[in-house]
Amino acid sequence: MDHRAQEDVWLTAAECARRIGLTVRALRLYEDRGLITPRRTGKDWRLYGRTEIARLNEVLTLKGFGLSLSRIADLLKGRPVDLAKLLDMQREALADARDRAERALRGIEVARANLAAGATIGIDDLTNLARETAMRDPSRDTLAWRRYEQNRPRTEIAIDPALYADYVGAYELVDGAFYVIVHRDDGLFLRVVGEVEFQLFPEAVDRFFLKEMPAQVTFVRGADGSVASLVHHQHGTDTPGHRADPAAVERAAAVHRERVRSQVAMPGSETILRELIDGEISGRPLYERMAPFLAAIAREQIERGDRFFRNCGPLRRIAFRGVSQMGMDVYDVEFENLRTEWGFSRANNGKINGLYIRPGV
């Protein structure tokens, strides 16, 4: 296929609407809302090219997540289409729909088998089937568009350097993580206890972003105008945090350094790991024990976990390997048919704020 020729193709409003499955009236509405700007011919006919159709993909995907047209307009205003981010979002939405369909079909087959055997179907099974058949999960939709908004390209602006002093200090997030904000070399930096330091770049007064990852930090001012708290935006979640005692942050940092130096597991570490393993194997992860952002990720990946552990067999062996530089307890976990490596960490409030599972060697 000649992609260069494809980029030069222009569609009339009627042809564009027919190919996408919209109405011409819908295209006019999107134009009136400033969502698309088709090219005009000398006779004032509207033409839609590659850029306009890519934007329509964005609009329809976000609309499918339940966003209003005005909210979509605000989200897309002043920025070009990012096809890579758009394709990632569409892939996630379609993968989620596929996983939910597979799960619903399995539930239906089990229900049919129970009926054939003369058993009754309980109310829990019926409500689960109704939910899965509806194929809608508003919480996941919200998470998806939040992640999309957080992943969009950011533009650095100049703000008054005198404002940086307002943000400096220690903060404790509701998930138990400690942040330290410092100002040096005409820049603002974020250090997470146990992790590396990142520079923060302003995109608005009181709102900053990281360049190394799709994450942002918003500083929140109190009634007196001083910065009293912050919100960390990442993974489709918004995690608030309030100013903390710097001495408490330093104590947490000292504990982290000592654990990494001594390579000693957290108290009760293996018991927690066994509970995590049971949750993953049973398909009921310990969401209530996790930090909000980690629980959100775990909920999205439950179907992948089901496939990963489907034929793992009984648990055979758990062996502690050590403590990673990020403070995770790392274990070799061997099942009858599968070898894996698990790493997890807990925040100051006891919530699990880090977890990974990968094939072992």
Task: Give the pLDDT score at 318.
Answer: 95
> For residues 85 and 263, which has the higher predicted lDDT (pLDDT)?
263
Q: Residue 29: pLDDT above 80?
A: yes
3-state SS assignment for residue 109: helix
C-beta separation of 199 from 156 below 8 A: no
Residues ≥6 apart with Cβ < 8 Å to 180: 169, 170, 171, 190, 191, 192, 193, 246, 249
Average pLDDT, the chain: 84
pTM: 0.62
The pLDDT, as a whole number, for residue 143 is 65
Q: Answer yes or no: is pLDDT of 192 > 90.
A: no
Q: Looking at residue 1, what is its pLDDT?
A: 46
Instruction: Report pLDDT for 120.
Output: 78
Confidence of residue 5 (pLDDT cuts 50, 70, 90): very low
Strand order in the sheet with 339-346: 315-323, 329-335, 339-346, 352-359
pLDDT at residue 174, as a whole number: 84
Q: Mean pLDDT over residues 90-98, rounded?
A: 71
What confidence category does residue 141 fall into, taking pLDDT thresholds of 50, 70 and 90?
Answer: low
Q: Given this model, what pLDDT does residue 166 score?
A: 95
pLDDT at 351 over 80: yes
Residue type, 312: C
Would you say residue 322 has pLDDT above 50?
yes
Closest to 55 measured CA to CA, from 39, 79, 74: 79
Q: Give the side-chain half-sphere CA count within 13 A for 248.
A: 14
Higher-confidence residue of 25 and 108: namely: 25
For the stretch 194-211, pLDDT in tens is 777 899 999 999 999 999
pLDDT(153) > 60: yes
Asked if the model's pLDDT at residue 133 lies above 70, the reply is: no
The CB density around residue 140, as the number of other CB atoms within 10 Å, is: 18
Q: Is 305 a residue whose pLDDT tops 70?
A: no
pLDDT of residue 304: 63
Look at residue 320 in the predicted model and tell me its pLDDT: 96
Q: Is the pLDDT of residue 6 over 60?
A: no
Q: Name 117's Cβ contacts closer than 8 Å, sequence gap at least 6.
A: none
**Per-residue model confidence (pLDDT) at position 168:** 95
User: Is there a contact between 171 and 244 (Cβ–Cβ < 8 Å)?
Assistant: yes
Q: What is the mean pLDDT of residues 275-300?
A: 83
Q: Is residue 77 very low, low, confident or very high in pLDDT (cuts 50, 70, 90)?
A: confident
Please give the pLDDT value at position 28: 92
Question: What's the rounded mean pLDDT across residues 163-188?
Answer: 90
- Closest listed residue to residue 242, CA positions, set 164, 161, 150, 175: 175
Residue 280 CB neighbour total at 10 angstroms: 23
Rounded to whole angstroms, how far apart are CA atoms 231 and 220? 8
Q: Are 279 and 273 in contact (CB under 8 A)?
A: no
